[in-house]
Structure 1
Amino acid sequence: VVAQPRGTVQGRIRVTEQGEVIANKYGDPDIARRNLEALTCGVLLSSLRPEGDDAFGARHGATMGRLSDASMQAYRALVYETEGFVDYFRAATPIAEIADLKIGSRPASRTASSRIEDLRAIPWVFSWSQSRIMLPGWFGFGSAVRDAGADLDELRAMARDWPFFTTLLQNMEMVMAKADMTIARRYAALVPDQALAARIHGALQAEYDLTRQTLLDITGQDELLARQPGLDRLIRLRMPYVEPLNHVQIELIRRRRAGDDDPRVRAGILLAINGIAAGLRNSG
């Protein structure tokens, strides 16, 4: 809330929450009270904060514009210009199983096409979450900082003094902490063309490493979530329950794609999908 543009929040805010978010945030009275207190605090801080420095905003806004353009170029280069990417995505994530299981209110794609452009946003993010890459939440940031020639001292100042940029980094940090590139490599083993799998997974790993190090350089931390110990602890507590589900899901997907029509295999994939989504809490 505090990261919203100046003038957006003036003593009130209207939000929409739905689905499992309602149960997670308001199903328990104590948790509901904590969430409402946090929302109220955010509204007060945003409404009462002093007017910003226009020169500060203009200077850093230009930097954000360059970073945005560079990150978009890196992201689109991966998705639309990398040979074999669509084949990798459809084999190394459970997108086919998600579409077949009909767990959403709408089909995964708007048309019968296999093009990325026709895929809906939720199954796109959901698939990368299930395979533990969490790609839409971080890919391109490291390349953007490198290619846009951003000054590290300026980025540190932005992280310190600009709530929008601070929130952006914190969200990226949280998503990257839930990613697991070792497990993602096991999903890549589902790709029939292992040369293709090695090439694209290698590119994803390189960008992940670059983005992680760039994030740490900006925040001055030694590890992700070092300044958010509560969140770090919650994620670490959940991962021992999520990771076995990933391994089970990979094996069941392998069996199903090999022609195993046992209904227990299908049911197991669905249970694993639900369990992983519940544990990560970034389902898409």
Structure 2
Amino acid sequence: IEEINVDIVPLFETIEGLDTARQSMGELYNLEYYKKQLKYRSDFQTIMLGFSDGTKDGGYIKANWEIYKAKENLTAVSMENGINVVFFDGRGGPPARGGGKTHQFYASQGPSIANNEIQITIQGQTISSMYGSKPQAIFNFEQLLSAGVINDIFTDDKSLISSQERDLIEELAEVGGKKYLELKNHPLFVSYLEHKSPLKYYGKTKIGSRPSKRSTSSQLKLSDLRAIPFVGSWSQLKQNVPGFFGFGTALQSKIDEGKLEDLKDLFENSLYFKTLMQNSMMALSKTYFPLTSYMKNDPIYGEFWNILYEEQQRSINNMLLVSGQKLLMETDPISMMSVEYRENIVLPLLAIQQYALQEVEENLDENAKTVFEKMVTRSLFGNINASRNSA
């Protein structure tokens, strides 16, 4: 065992995996040969948490809360076994894959979560947009460093989650997760992505380091889909479902119970919940359902499109109500202007893409079909580059 001079890094990403993470690591820590390995590695253990597949599995609010609780549990079981744990967060570009306000995200994690080091994946357009030049890289590294310092030195009540706040977040996560699960189990969920989005073109663009799906089967299954084409396809549709779906219904359930003031207090006093909702508001600010409004009367997909649209409207209305804002991202005007500037580039490209997708589905002429497929692929490139964190 002493000849193994690399770290073994467990990965937890599905909702079930996150729920049983503490038990899994507890059993691993107590294996005699693994104890020797950890001793040889100075009793340090790196654990990776997968945001992308967690969101695909359980929806935005459910996945993020499960990851937070898993970090608390893994911190506790590591301390019990005398192990220094380091979390490696598999965070992609958009909020649906763990992106968004990275500084606020880490600053909001209180003393119950180990922060000896901050390790994150930097992927896609995030590399160039945040670390593409020396000044950008210095600024963003300083943001990460200061987030860790804030946790240790300037911890205040807003970075702590009280038992009452915890109960409320738990209830929101359960309702939101159930709503997302209903959507995921809808018979048209995968078919909608396959036929109405550019999902199958992601493999042709070569923007990912891996195939678009894990299986070589001709039949598309949700479990086989990689996170980048899954989240990216919703982004290309300007629907961003993984970044908000279920949040609006969760908030509505508490509003209906007369807990609007409790939600407002939670948003104001919990940095974790505030960051969670602000990141979702960012995803919602990039939705634009008029792009696909022609689908609402589609004989096959019309009902499904309306389910998505209704939840988007519900989420926007309830988030504005809870936050006391009149516009999404109102308190972050610079980011709001940045999004608006890029949307002016993106929307024309996506209008072309939607037209080309319809022609591909309906056109029987192979030469014309080839041309329209190239249009889809080229618009993918342009949108991904312009959107910054669309995949």
Does the pair score TM above 0.5? yes
- Report the Cα offset of residue 51 of structure 1: 6.0
Distance in structure 1 (CA, Å) of the matches to 2:183 and 2:355? 27
Give the secondary-structure state (helix, strand or coil) at the position aligned to 2:326: coil
**CA RMSD in angstroms, aligned pairs only:** 2.4
Q: Which residue of 1 aligns with 2:234?
A: 128
CA contact 1:63–1:150 (8 Å) conserved in 2:
no
Distance in structure 2 (CA, Å) of the matches to 1:127 and 1:282? 13
**Equivalent of residue 382 in structure 2, options 272, 275, 278:** 275
In the alignment, is residue 162 of structure 1 matched against residue 270 of structure 2?
yes
Q: Which residue of 1 aligns with 2:132?
A: 27
- Pick the structure with more strand per residue: 2
Distance in structure 2 (CA, Å) of the matches to 1:270 and 1:210? 33
In the alignment, is residue 138 of structure 1 matched against residue 244 of structure 2?
yes
In the alignment, is residue 171 of structure 1 matched against residue 264 of structure 2?
no
Letter in 1 for 2:247: F
Q: Which residue of 2 aligns with 1:221?
A: 325
- Residues 202 and 274 of structure 1: CA distance in aligned 2, closer, same or farther (over 3 Å): same
**Equivalent of residue 69 in structure 1, options 171, 174, 184:** 174
- Residues 52 and 11 of structure 1: CA distance in aligned 2, closer, same or farther (over 3 Å): farther
**Equivalent of residue 202 in structure 2, options 98, 104, 108:** 98
CA contact 1:155–1:218 (8 Å) conserved in 2:
yes
Q: How many residues align?
A: 279
- Residues 231 and 116 of structure 1: CA distance in aligned 2, closer, same or farther (over 3 Å): same
CA contact 2:239–2:289 (8 Å) conserved in 1:
yes
| Runs (4+) off by over 4 Å | 9-12, 51-56
Distance in structure 2 (CA, Å) of the matches to 1:100 and 1:23? 22
Q: Which moved more, 1:107-116 or 1:260-269?
A: 260-269
Q: CA deviation digits over 1:9-32, x for unaligned, max 9? A: 556433332444222212222222
- Residues 142 and 118 of structure 1: CA distance in aligned 2, closer, same or farther (over 3 Å): same
Give the secondary-structure state (helix, strand or coil) at the position aligned to 2:235: helix
Distance in structure 1 (CA, Å) of the matches to 2:290 and 2:221? 27
Distance in structure 1 (CA, Å) of the matches to 2:344 and 2:196? 22
- Report the Cα offset of residue 56 of structure 1: 5.4
**Equivalent of residue 48 in structure 1, options 149, 153, 160:** 153
- Residues 150 and 46 of structure 1: CA distance in aligned 2, closer, same or farther (over 3 Å): farther
Distance in structure 2 (CA, Å) of the matches to 1:56 and 1:104? 37
Letter in 2 for 1:46: N
Distance in structure 1 (CA, Å) of the matches to 2:177 and 2:165? 18
Q: Relative contact order (C-alpha < 8 Å, sep 6+): which is higher?
A: 1
Q: Which residue of 1 aligns with 2:33?
A: none
Distance in structure 2 (CA, Å) of the matches to 1:54 and 1:272? 42
Distance in structure 2 (CA, Å) of the matches to 1:10 and 1:99? 36
Q: Which residue of 2 aligns with 1:200?
A: 304
- Report the Cα offset of residue 283 of structure 1: 2.4
Give the secondary-structure state (helix, strand or coil) at the position aligned to 1:195: coil
Distance in structure 2 (CA, Å) of the matches to 1:61 and 1:25? 33
- Residues 127 and 18 of structure 1: CA distance in aligned 2, closer, same or farther (over 3 Å): closer
Letter in 2 for 1:172: S
Give the secondary-structure state (helix, strand or coil) at the position aligned to 2:285: helix
- Report the Cα offset of residue 223 of structure 1: 1.0
Q: CA deviation digits over 1:52-87, x for unaligned, max 9? A: 59995211111111111111110111120x343332
- Identity across the alignment (%): 25
Distance in structure 2 (CA, Å) of the matches to 1:99 and 1:15? 25
TM normalised by structure 2 equals 0.66
In the alignment, is residue 58 of structure 1 matched against residue 163 of structure 2?
yes
- Report the Cα offset of residue 254 of structure 1: 2.3
Q: Which residue of 2 aligns with 1:115?
A: 221
Q: Which residue of 2 aligns with 1:265?
A: 372
Q: CA deviation digits over 1:233-277, x for unaligned, max 9? A: 111111111110001111222233324445543332222101111
- Residues 51 and 171 of structure 1: CA distance in aligned 2, closer, same or farther (over 3 Å): closer
Give the secondary-structure state (helix, strand or coil) at the position aligned to 1:242: helix
- Report the Cα offset of residue 7 of structure 1: 4.4
Distance in structure 2 (CA, Å) of the matches to 1:12 and 1:88? 41
In the alignment, is residue 183 of structure 1 matched against residue 291 of structure 2?
yes
Q: Which moved more, 1:100-109 or 1:124-133?
A: 100-109
Structure whose alpha-carbon radius of gyration is higher: 2
TM normalised by structure 1 equals 0.88
Letter in 1 for 2:282: M
- Residues 225 and 18 of structure 1: CA distance in aligned 2, closer, same or farther (over 3 Å): closer
- Residues 87 and 53 of structure 1: CA distance in aligned 2, closer, same or farther (over 3 Å): closer
Q: Which residue of 2 aligns with 1:8?
A: 113
Q: Which moved more, 1:63-72 or 1:88-97?
A: 88-97
- Report the Cα offset of residue 122 of structure 1: 2.0
Letter in 2 for 1:6: P
